[in-house]
Amino acid sequence: MTITSAPVSLRCVVSVSGIRGIIGDTLNIDELLRLAAAYGTALAPGGLVVLGRDSRPTGPLVAQAVAAGLRAAGCSVVDIGLVPTPTVPIMIEELKAQGGIQISASHNPAEWNALKLFSGAGRNVDQAQLDQVLAAYAQPPAWQGFARCGGFRTIDTALDVHLERILRVVDVELIRRANLTVVLDSVNGAGSAIGPKLLAALGCRVVPIYTRPDQLFPRDPEPTAHNVRHLGGVVRAMDADIGFVQDPDADRLAIVDDRGSYIGEEYTLVLCAAARLAAEHLAGTANLVVCTNLSTSRMLEDVAARFKARVVRSQVGEAHVVTAMQHERAVIGGEGNGGIIDPRVVWGRDSQIGMALVLEYLARAKQPLSEVVNAIPRYAIHKEKLALDRAGVTRAIEVVARHPLAQGAEVITLDGLKLVWPDRWMHLRASGTEPMSRVIAEAPTPDQARDLCAQVRAVIGM
């Protein structure tokens, strides 16, 4: 993930994954107003901009500031309300808008919020476009006079458009015949409305929990094993076939199997890729490509090999994966954090198409999810957060690269430092969503993965 050196006045996290901070602390309303105006000036001058938000308490407040900034800069705003992040780029395409902004800090705690910026192409801004916005922010705002201020309107059909796109590309009748029972935890976020509606349209018996967007997040919103440990018991009690967990803006998806075991976010992309590759393989499509980032499990290569498909890896971050997918003409892509990108629906991560693809795969396999997962070669992945800022992790990477630990490994420096051995790998990089760094390792066993992370920490003195 490339992190831009933000203007001196910005103290928040700035990257192609969003401009995010704690509201009233590292990101204030004046900055949001000016950032929105800078976006309008740089990327959508005088154009139409789609505006959405997730369920965070500050969402309406931030939306008002962003709409005001855009309109004062001469852009017209279409507010689509409380929606998943991928609904914004979908509506950019539908409305032929010049861009869009989703107000969401994704998996960050409730006091955080952010601006996720999209281009008129219906995808995340790239680094060059983000730099244009930041350059405009560094200048005095280009406020327009009375006659050139932008208009404002709201629409309430965006979720229907999103839903229709998904139902158009999956085998709805196949899924309906499977009569699956699904437990859905939307963490009271933006998936709370569309998630149950989608599952019902697919003929599932839906057991919704935490689908009240008018309520606070009931727990730490990141869908990790520890944070969603309650879900396994619900799946078992309801004799469900699967449990799905969304993050607050519904672009990431984690999974609990029919035995109530958390199989995690890494399997989300693997299962969705298997579903798409199987369908394309049956159709006789050749030269299949899947794209993901450097921190995603090597299980993807194992599944891709079944269909003679190729895996291409990019820097971490949705925008980078999308760029790789467009360059490689990939049929599917995503990240090991549960983000699925199906270009038939949207050029961005979407937990909704993720759920539909996993259910389609289960319906076709006619096996319990636990058995499907057991047929995939298993590796152990371990993730840790480090209290290192961008400069600190740059120094740490230099130390690790020179250390004997790196000897015999393939060295990849596309995004931080990745060391790859025949049966394991380690990735050290700065986070693009939080002011810290990450070290991730994958190995044959959990102890080996944890030990590899511990070795890295020892080398850098942490």
Phi, psi of 365 (to 5 degrees): -70, -30
First to last CA, the chain: 22
Q: What angle do CA 124, 323, 343 make, to 5 degrees?
A: 75
Query: Residue with structure tokens 């989703």?
Result: 102
| 370: annotated active-site residue | no
Give the integer Cα–Cα distance in Å for 146 and 366. Answer: 63
Give, as one character, the DSSP assignment of residue 1.
-
Q: Choose among 188, 193, 216: nearest CA to 206.
A: 193
Residue 151 forms beta bridges with which residues? none
Partners of 117 in the β-ladder: 101
Half-sphere exposure of 343 (CA within 13 A, CB side): 17
Closest CA to 349 of 454, 416, 272: 272
Given the residues 17, 55, 104, 106, select the one marked as catalytic.
106
Distance of CA 386 to the CA centre of its chain: 21
- The Cα diameter of the chain in Å comes to 66
Asked if 141 and 73 count as a contact pair (C-beta separation under 8 A), the reply is: yes
Residues forming the active site: 106
